[in-house]
């Protein structure tokens, strides 16, 4: 026991500080080559600028394909933004990159310690691809594996959403698969670019995502155009070449670039995922918001796991304890999301009658009210003989 003394136990929770902000960090995996004493295939790298990539040997001469993607990323996101990167050989398929048992995207996400929230996949197009549903068959094979991989990491509280390039579009809209009949709500597919190549501008798309908050649609017009020159589909034709079929391509779940009358430049059409129209996560933005809320809720509650708590006579946790947990969750999500415009409101509900002695399980309900999006504005306009 020692000599008599006065001991102060200093509390670290009295000011009710919120948990840390969840950042939308990007990762890019794509075709490249090893450069002696510099970048190596299959290895993860963390960079913050185009110069960092060039210092690794990802230059316009040594790794031109990925250099352009990274250049596009930083042209939108700006220098200083964190990007995780992996180069793979030209023999590596999208399906292999996405395989949960392969050492590609799984390794990249793991090396980033689960901090990545959005991933881009870009494979240099082959000269004579095998097409399925109007695009490189490898893309179609990769999508379900990419969804499974993302689901697996989400279960580990390492959630991410993915954007994959729809290589080698045939140009036949009728060939395209209708992904609104699917259930791949963690995957988005870009079928357009800024250079007329057979791959999509994944770097540009990633840069846009890295530059906007979780709730924001990449199609937001107020942000301004993402392209000032020409936009193309991955068959090399200008998007205007299919002007009569743009609605159909959009309605099948694909993302591309569009124009607006009276506005210069090109904008993203949407932030659709490859899922049905009734899915809450049919947009990337809704997915990012949910991922962020889950992580904040997890970080708040993990402190209470396996802790001793006083019980009421019926075997439930004392209501005062549960009210405190509810308040902590609501405060953290409100501070980091509602007050930042990412959500409209939040409420946490914990039933105080749960017998934790018998079950060891406590069920918590978190209700999130999202922000809305004006995706279609209908105006009734006409002349009148009386203004009121």
Quote the number of domains for the chain.
2
Strand partners, 44: 86
Which structure tokens are listed for 110? Answer: 């793991």
Cα 246 from Cα 239, distance rounded (Å): 8
My answer on whether 321 and 281 are in the same domain is no
Domain presence at residue 15: no
Domain assignment present for 21 = no
* 180 and 311 together in one domain: no
For residue 110, being part of any structural domain is answered with yes
Together in a domain, 101 and 194: yes
Structure tokens that stand for 152 in this block: 């697996």
Judgement on whether residues 160 and 129 belong to the same structural domain of the protein: yes
Residue 15 has a pLDDT of 42
pLDDT of residue 1: 45
Residue 221 · residue 182 · CB < 8 Å: no
Final residue of a structural domain among 239, 255, 287: 287
Of the three residues 229, 258, 287, the one that is the final residue of a domain is 287
Residue ranges making up the domain that contains 272: 26-287
Q: What is the mean pLDDT of each run of 10 residues along the chain (388 residues)?
A: 48 48 90 97 98 98 98 97 98 98 97 96 91 97 98 95 98 98 98 98 98 96 95 98 97 98 96 96 95 93 81 84 92 96 93 85 89 76 72
CB-based burial label for 221 (10 Å; 0-12, 13-18, 19+): exposed
Q: Give the bridge partners for 369, in sequence order.
A: 345
With respect to residue 8, please indicate whether it lies within any of the assigned structural domains: no
If you ran DSSP here, which 8-state letter would residue 167 be given? Answer: T
Q: What does the pLDDT read at residue 9? A: 45
> Nearest CA to 218 among 164, 262, 272, 166?
272
The verdict on 172 and 115 lying in the same domain is: yes
pLDDT computed for residue 20 by the predictor: 56
Residue 262 and residue 339 in one domain:
no
Asked if residue 13 is part of any domain, the answer here is no
Residues 64 and 159 in one domain: yes
Statement: the pTM of the whole predicted model exceeds 0.75: yes
Give the SS3 label for residue 179: helix
Give the per-residue pLDDT at 363: 87
Q: Considering the domain boundaries, does residue 1 fall inside one?
A: no
């Amino acid at each position: 026991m020692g000599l008599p003394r006065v001991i102060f136990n200093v509390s670290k929770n009295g000011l009710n500080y919120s948990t840390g902000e969840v950042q939308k960090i990007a990762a890019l995996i794509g075709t490249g080559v090893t450069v002696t004493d510099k970048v190596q295939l299959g290895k993860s790298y963390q960079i913050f600028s185009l110069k960092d990539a060039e210092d690794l040997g990802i230059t316009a001469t040594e790794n031109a394909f990925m250099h352009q993607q990274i250049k596009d990323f930083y042209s939108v996101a700006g220098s200083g933004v964190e990007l995780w990167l992996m180069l793979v050989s030209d023999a590596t398929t999208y399906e292999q990159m996405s395989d949960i048992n392969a050492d590609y995207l799984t390794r990249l996400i793991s090396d980033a310690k689960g901090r990545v929230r959005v991933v881009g996949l870009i494979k240099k197009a082959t000269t004579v691809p095998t097409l399925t549903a109007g695009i490189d068959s490898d893309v179609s094979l990769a999508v379900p594996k990419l969804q499974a991989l993302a689901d697996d990491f989400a279960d580990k509280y390492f959630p991410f959403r993915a954007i994959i390039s729809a290589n080698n579009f045939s140009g036949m809209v009728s060939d395209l698969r209708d992904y609104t009949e699917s259930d791949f709500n963690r995957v988005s597919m870009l079928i357009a670019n800024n250079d007329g190549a057979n791959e999509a501008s994944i770097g540009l798309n990633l840069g846009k995502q890295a530059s906007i908050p979780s709730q924001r649609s990449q199609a937001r017009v107020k942000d301004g155009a993402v392209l000032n020159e020409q936009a193309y589909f991955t068959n090399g034709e200008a998007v205007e070449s299919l002007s009569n079929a743009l609605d159909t391509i959009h309605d099948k779940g694909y993302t591309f670039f569009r124009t607006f009358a009276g506005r210069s430049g090109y904008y993203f059409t949407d932030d659709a995922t490859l899922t049905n129209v009734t899915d809450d996560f049919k947009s990337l933005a809704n997915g990012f918001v949910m991922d962020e809320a889950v992580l904040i809720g997890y970080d708040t509650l993990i402190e209470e796991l396996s802790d001793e708590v006083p019980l009421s006579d019926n075997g439930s946790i004392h209501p005062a304890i549960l009210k405190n947990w509810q308040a902590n969750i609501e405060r953290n999500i409100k501070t980091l999301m509602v007050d930042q415009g990412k959500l409209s409101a939040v409420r946490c509900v914990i039933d105080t009658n749960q017998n934790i002695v018998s079950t060891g399980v406590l069920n918590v309900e978190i209700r999130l009210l999202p922000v809305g999006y004006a995706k279609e504005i209908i105006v009734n306009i006409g002349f009148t003989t009386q203004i009121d």
